[in-house]
């Protein structure tokens, strides 16, 4: 049998439990990076590019040509390296077209002022449901899968032989369940419907998670299938109805603390990975809104 031209590699960042992906069309060497990480130390306020440089090294090793830097959503637990990678690679940065509603909420929270556009224009491409991005001989289909945030996307790639989907923060591995829905614009019922849509893909579809929290200290794992999720996802296996899911999800969310990097992440990610503009002394600052969340 002919080998598929679709090649996927995952890169796990243990500091934030995030998985970044490299998606490659072997026939043409066209490639995309999905959900990159800019390292950030909250104690010193220093950013580092070790995670992004690891991706760049692999891109060079494979001889890949990065055409797209994709975000599944505005992450609230790690900074995106999209701006850094764009500068290095010249690729286009894409996100869901509902980003404006997220920018509106967080632009207001951080009092970003009129210099911060809330129309998504920091990104090169805003994707609507069903939009197709070319990647060599492959196509990446954008699905709006809101719930965790209002602007979440899942990226679906179908070849003649297989279907794969990068699900962002909708599903996690079957033993961990699903993503929280208590961020601004989050909605558990919406997440349920988005996940059921993902799980309507063929049973053999490979699903790539954006996070792995290693429940029980097990080995890192971030690749699953539709059939495995339907059989065993602890929150949303077949048979769990919407009402039961929403009750469970809301009760669980009420117990969760804010992610450690929530405030730094959102301020950078709402700007497509650019750090906030420097002040008149040349230094860039992150803000902490007090008693506002
Ligand atoms: Fe997220």
| DSSP characters over 12-47 | EETTTTEEEEEEEETTTTEEEEES--BEEETTTTEE
Q: How far is the CA of 173 from the centre of ligand 1 (A)?
A: 15
Secondary structure element (H or E) that encloses residue 24, with its range:
strand 18-25
Kindly give the confidence (pLDDT) of every residue in the chain, 293 residues in length, as a single tens digit, with 9 standing for 90 and above: 445 699 999 999 999 999 999 999 999 999 999 999 999 999 999 999 999 999 999 999 999 999 999 999 999 999 999 999 999 999 999 999 999 999 999 999 999 999 999 999 999 999 999 999 999 999 999 999 999 999 999 999 999 889 999 999 999 999 999 999 999 999 999 999 999 999 999 999 999 999 999 999 999 999 999 999 999 999 999 999 999 999 999 999 999 999 999 999 999 999 999 999 999 999 999 999 999 98
Q: How far is the CA of 75 from the centre of ligand 1 (A)?
A: 4
Q: Which residues contact 57 (CB under 8 A, 6 or more apart)?
A: none
Which H/E stretch holds residue 104?
helix 99-109
Ligand 1 centroid, distance to 170 Cα (angstroms): 8
Q: What pTM did the predictor assign?
A: 0.97
**Could you tell me the distance, in angstroms and rounded to a whole number, from the CA of residue 138 to the centre of ligand 1?**
26
């Amino acid at each position: 049998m002919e080998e598929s031209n679709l090649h996927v590699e995952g890169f796990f960042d243990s500091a934030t439990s995030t998985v970044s992906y490299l998606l490659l069309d072997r026939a043409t060497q066209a490639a995309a990076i999905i959900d990159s990480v800019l390292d950030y130390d909250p104690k010193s306020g220093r950013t580092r590019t070790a995670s992004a440089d690891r991706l760049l090294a692999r891109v060079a090793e494979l001889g890949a040509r990065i055409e797209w830097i994709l975000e599944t959503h505005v992450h609230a637990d790690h900074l995106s390296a999209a701006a850094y990678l764009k500068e290095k690679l010249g690729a286009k940065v894409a996100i869901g077209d509902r980003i404006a509603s997220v920018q509106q909420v967080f632009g207001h929270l951080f009092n970003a002022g009129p210099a911060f556009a809330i129309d998504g224009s920091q990104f090169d491409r805003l994707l609507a449901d069903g939009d197709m991005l070319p990647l060599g001989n492959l196509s990446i289909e954008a699905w709006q899968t809101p719930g965790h945030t209002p602007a979440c996307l899942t990226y679906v790639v179908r070849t003649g032989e297989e279907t794969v989907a990068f699900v962002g923060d909708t599903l996690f591995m079957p033993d961990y369940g699903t993503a929280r829905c208590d961020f601004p614009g989050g909605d558990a019922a919406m997440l349920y419907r988005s996940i059921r849509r993902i799980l309507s893909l063929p049973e053999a579809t490979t699903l790539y998670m954006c996070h792995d929290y290693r429940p029980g200290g097990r080995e890192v794992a971030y690749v699953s299938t539709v059939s495995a999720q339907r059989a065993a996802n602890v929150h949303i296996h077949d048979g769990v109805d919407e009402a039961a899911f929403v009750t469970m999800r809301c009760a669980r969310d009420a117990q969760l603390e804010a992610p450690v990097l929530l405030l730094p992440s959102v301020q950078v990610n709402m700007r497509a990975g650019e750090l906030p503009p420097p002040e008149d002394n040349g230094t860039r600052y992150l803000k902490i809104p007090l008693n506002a969340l």
